[in-house]
A and B are shown apart, each in its own frame.
Chain A
């Protein structure tokens, strides 16, 4: 029987971790992620899990320990945010390059400077080329569900890549929400046991891991294989979502659409903003506007073809980015990639970019209305030009 509970987002993640019962969790605290490892450390202390918890002296060390443990054949998790993720940078690439199925919730927080502890997506977006699968969550329920699914996605033999589960700092991590937890037995059956490959602890067949490529040069081949693993990840995400739907009744895919079928204007967004946008869409529909939403769950791999298919009938797309690329009038990362996805298409929607919510600035319903008004204006003018709008900026 599922259990309905009221939890803050970080405790929802800790509950998922308790059910996963990872062999090793090396961690270092950072706001707003700290609450995850605090609650989990209590679970370790109370003997609710068998996990070897390692209090590392930095995030770089935490992920290094995770990599070592994963190469030894352990099921490994850690968690981080913002500067912590930035300090892991070197190891992010090593985890994915060594093809280690580590699962790491990242509680999205703005990167310094100026120092700011609140939500935006600059931390994980900066890691978008690090070879990690990235799944966004709209709320605590999705964060919990994503963590459980992430384990099987990461460990899929056609994938073997680390997974970052993303949840918005404070908005999800520190707000109490109602959610359903799987009962422990169902969760454990779903998770199963890890079959390690080339374990460092296999005394019969001791392998070497992360070896020097030599001067002969096979790096290129390893990277091509890694690129293929990320391509394969899409199918694994879908397969695991199907299995998860059977036990939870909750359906996941690369993205979720809301009132999209006859929509002329569609807002594309990821993370907690989707909740506010959804409620606004109902109001705007009541006013007669044909508007819908596409909430992106899977950012890596980027579901290019599916997105194009879902949006090709749409006249106007408003892409909401909670981070900037600072690439010089290119817009936010979601915008850049979604625009690129349409390059070969005959029918391309007019696309506007709204950069919002940096450093935790609230995305109010009123701001969404402002964005929609800008789109209406652009649609009326019929001229095609790139527009990047900083939504809610003091101008």
Chain B
């Protein structure tokens, strides 16, 4: 159940950011979730419903934006999508890469506040 730990972290972080900005009503928490972050979107969404209860962001909805895996292709010399979420190979030329530049995000991106 590591999604629950992650959800609790999100609630805590969003609460801190809301307090810092003086926002009393947070309508939604926007999350950027990499497809290779090792977190299951559906499991996280239901864990969030538990985690937010009684918190400073109890009314908030979790909006998850998934981020596809991108690599830096050593052959094409540019950032390219990976062939799959699992394999860091260039979707264009198939070359393997050790540099994943996107797809592991676990980031609270924005708060949707009412003021």
Do chains A and B interact in one complex?
no
